[in-house]
Amino acid sequence: MTNLNRDCLWEIFTNLEHDKKSLHGALLVNRLWCEVAVQFLWRKPFRFLYTCSKFCNCSEQRRRVKVKKFLATLTTILAHKHTTSSVNIQDLVIWTAAPLTTFTYTDFIRHLDIHDLVWALYDGVEYLRSQRFLTDFQYNSKPFFSDITWSTSTITLVDIDFTKNKDKVENAFTFESSSSPKQPVLPSPTAVYKSKYKRNSLSRNSEETRQRRTDSLFQKMTCDLCRLLVLYCPNLSHLSIDMVNTKWSEDNQRCTSLPSISFWITVKEIPNEILLIPTYAGSQNCLSRLVEFTWGATHWTSEFLDALSKITHHLRKLVIDMSNFGRDESKNDARRLSTLIKVQRCLQEIKFIKCKFRILSSIMEGLRTQAKTLRIFYFQGIVKDWSIFSEVKHLTNLKELIFSHTNFQCNEVNMIEQSYFPHLIKLSFNVCCFRDQIILPELVVQRSGKTLRTFTLTRYYYPDGKYNFRPQVITTVAKYCQNLVHLEIFVDRREFQQLMLLFASCPLLEKVKLTGNPDIADELFTRMATQELSNLKELIIDAQWRFCAKSLETFIIKTKAPLKSLVFRYSPDFSDAHLDVLFRYLKEHLHRLHIGTDKRFSRGFLEKAKETIVDFRYKINGQVHDPVWL
């Protein structure tokens, strides 16, 4: 492994780009591994700053100490690169006491999240305040640092020791250029920063005044840091205002010591000055290369969107998330988002998350301009008084059409009947509510199901009307989607027969996930045993279903399914007898087995599962048990 070349390591670390722990370990292998791994660690530094292992026990103080070290490293690098007076960085001098680094980390930054950046500065200022670094700033009406002078020789930081000799504090940190291989040679010209402090003889200010000045310092630091990042991060490709941090929240990787999102919505909004990043000097060079942007602000950012629309024209992925948007629903402001869509030249994926239904049509006006390039459309929210398919029907090159937690409160039938997606390979409706007793995915499948490879229809709702109304979605999928490979569907006992028809019509199925109401599933396994599922490799039962070991054995023997992964979310009667069936018939194939049950397995079966199954876990009474512990 240590002899792998750079290209091989790059491919390996690409699959580990979200795994901070593994990337940290790779730094210690050898120099080559370090050179490659460090680029992935610094791709999204502000996001990794608050990434922890699952269920971490970080304290607020520990988190802020980590932030202080990070900001010291980052600002020192930026200070050494900043050789002009275009940005006033006097408020950042307090951080520039870190030693010189082996790598210029700012060249590796690809992802900048404004929410995480602001939160890091907030933590940093609070750390300084807790350590009494800001005590005299709170007493003084003048700023920390007076002025900055520039020279072309070495860089000298004349900083302040706020904890000692507060009457005469001048502690100089000097970094001189050196030819030693351990310290990189400083570029010329470089800056000389001098800061002076004078004690104010005035009496102590009130608590409100001190807090106001601390907030002022926080805003100045954040603005100056943003300006420097725009100037010296030329490789930025991802920009976001991601209040939810969706990916990290789903994986439970977000530091648990952070406050909830409601704290930001009600107490600490992102300062408007920070949202002027596209107007900063250097933004044309930095932001013109963006390929992904997430807009998840709590209020309209009109100047930000206008400026970004003029600079960024090559986005491939755009996410508009209004989950925490709590302000006016201005259609004029909404059209700014539409303009951002229109000016893109190669947009391939777009996501609308909880957009306000009153302004949704205004935002989506620009979709038609992306009909040639758009491949993935994702929607979550409410559709009311306006048909979303009136715009979607023009996206004839779509490959993935996804609706999640969507409430269709308008009649979409006519527009769907006019829609045709000849390249559609994935259709997903996850927890949706339909206005009439017409299941919309059934209509889409009838028109565009021939090319489908993945179909998802989990829990869905429709109004009570005709007595004994029985949806025919499964039958429709069986008729039109014979190339189906991946199926996730909600199944009622009345639909077991339809499911058998689907298995008979779709011989290429490799992955099946079944959800449903609590029930006895012996009949289902018995009926499934009448079909040969020679390609089925993964089966997930995400429902509270009871079945005996004999039914499971019949299913495995007669279907001849080479199952590699089995998941039973909660099967109350799953016992040693069921495990014995799996060991006897699937021990050569099964690599993953997850079980939720009310039964306790014997020690012998647990030890055997540990030896034969790579990924084995089970739940008893809500607790996850690792076989090693038992």
Residue whose tokens read 């030819």: 179
Whole-angstrom distance, CA of residue 203 vs CA of residue 460 = 66
Q: What is the model's pLDDT at position 170?
A: 31
pLDDT of residue 209: 65
pLDDT in tens, 162-200: 334 333 323 322 233 333 333 333 333 333 333 333 334
Q: What is the pLDDT of residue 326?
A: 67
Residues 110 and 151 occupy one common structural domain: yes
Considering the domain architecture, whether residues 521 and 385 belong to the same structural domain is answered as no
**At which of 232, 248, 269 does a domain end?**
232
What is the average pLDDT across 273-300? 85
Q: Which of 404, 469, 485, 466 is nearest to 441 (CA)?
A: 404
Mean pLDDT along residues 34-46: 89
- 338-358: average pLDDT: 91
Distances (CA, A) of 526 to 117, 497, 500, 548, 600: 56, 11, 10, 11, 26
Q: Of 501, 529, 561, at which residue does a domain stop?
A: 501
Span 126-145, average pLDDT: 54
> What pLDDT does residue 162 have?
35
Question: What is the tens place of the pLDDT at every residue in 293-331?
Answer: 998 877 778 888 899 999 999 999 999 988 777 666 778
- Residue 513's pLDDT band (cuts 50, 70, 90): very high
Would you state the pLDDT for residue 180? 36
Rounded average pLDDT over 239-266: 65
- 19: pLDDT confidence band, cut at 50, 70 and 90? confident
Domain boundary among 501, 529, 556: 501
pLDDT more than 90, % of the chain: 26
Q: What is the rounded average pLDDT of the residues 80-97?
A: 62
Confidence of residue 87 (pLDDT cuts 50, 70, 90): low
122 and 23 both lie in a single domain: no
Span 45-65, pLDDT tens digits: 888 888 876 667 788 888 888
Q: Which helix (H) or strand (E) holds 24?
A: helix 20-26
pLDDT band at 467 (very low <50, low <70, confident <90, very high): low
Q: Which of 94-98, 222-226, 339-343, 510-514 has the lowest mean pLDDT?
A: 94-98
If asked whether residues 221 and 104 sit together in one domain, one would say yes
Check whether 221 has a pLDDT greater than 80: no
pLDDT at 134: 52
pLDDT of residue 97: 60
**Same-domain pairing of 562 and 526:** yes
| pLDDT at residue 490, as a whole number | 92
Give residue-wise pLDDT tens across range 144-165. Answer: 333 333 332 233 333 333 334 3
99 and 37, same domain (yes or no): no
Lowest mean pLDDT among 80-94, 336-350, 613-627: 80-94
Pick 247 or 299 by higher pLDDT. Answer: 299
Q: Is residue 402 part of a domain?
A: yes
Ranked by mean pLDDT, the top range of 155-164, 233-242, 543-552 is: 543-552
Range of 426's domain? 375-501
Q: Work out the burial of residue 26: count CB atoms within 10 Å of its CB; fewer than 13 is exposed, 13-18 middle, 19 or more buried.
A: buried
* Positions of E strands within 144-233: 149-150, 155-159, 171-175, 191-194
Return all residues near 219 (Cβ < 8 A) that are at least 6 apart. Answer: 271, 273, 274
Domains identified in the chain, total number: 4
Positive/negative CA dihedral, 211, 216, 221, 222: positive
pLDDT at 84 over 70: no
For residues 19 and 121, membership in a common domain is answered with no
Query: So what's the pLDDT on residue 101?
Result: 78
Q: Three-class SS of residue 198?
A: coil
Please indicate, yes or no, whether residues 626 and 491 belong to a single structural domain of this protein.
Answer: no
Query: Which residues is 427 bridged to in the sheet?
Result: 401, 455
Higher pLDDT, 209 or 322: 322
Find all residues with CB under 8 Å of 13, minimum gap 6, and list them.
23, 26, 36, 37, 40
**427 shares its domain with 567:** no
* Position 12 in a domain: yes
In what helix (H) or strand (E) does residue 7 lie, and over which residues does it extend? helix 6-14
Whether the predicted pLDDT of 438 surpasses 90: no
Domain for residue 177, yes or no?
yes
What integer pLDDT is reported at residue 55 of this predicted model?
65
pLDDT at 629 exceeding the cut of 50: no
Kindly state whether residue 301 falls inside one of the protein's structural domains.
Answer: no
Instruction: Copy the structure tokens of residue 452.
Output: 């489908």
442 and 522, same domain (yes or no): no
One domain for residues 149 and 7:
no
* Residue 593 burial (CB count, 10 A): 22
What pLDDT is stored for residue 131 in this prediction? 72
Distance between CA atoms of residues 481 and 474, nearest Å: 10
Give me the mean pLDDT over the 433-460 stretch. 90
In a domain, 603, yes or no: yes
- Mean pLDDT, the chain, integer: 78
pLDDT at 83 over 70: no
> Where does 461-617 have alpha helices with state H?
473-480, 496-505, 522-528, 549-559, 576-586, 603-612
**Domain contains 319:** no
CA dihedral 311, 313, 319, 325 (to 10 degrees): 30
Q: What's the longest Cα–Cα distance across the chain?
A: 91
Q: What is the arrangement of strands in the sheet containing 171-175, beginning at the earlier edge strand?
A: 149-150, 191-194, 155-159, 171-175
pLDDT band of 456, cuts 50, 70, 90 = very high
Is residue 158 domain-shared with residue 14, that is, in the same domain? no
* Residue 512 confidence (pLDDT): 95
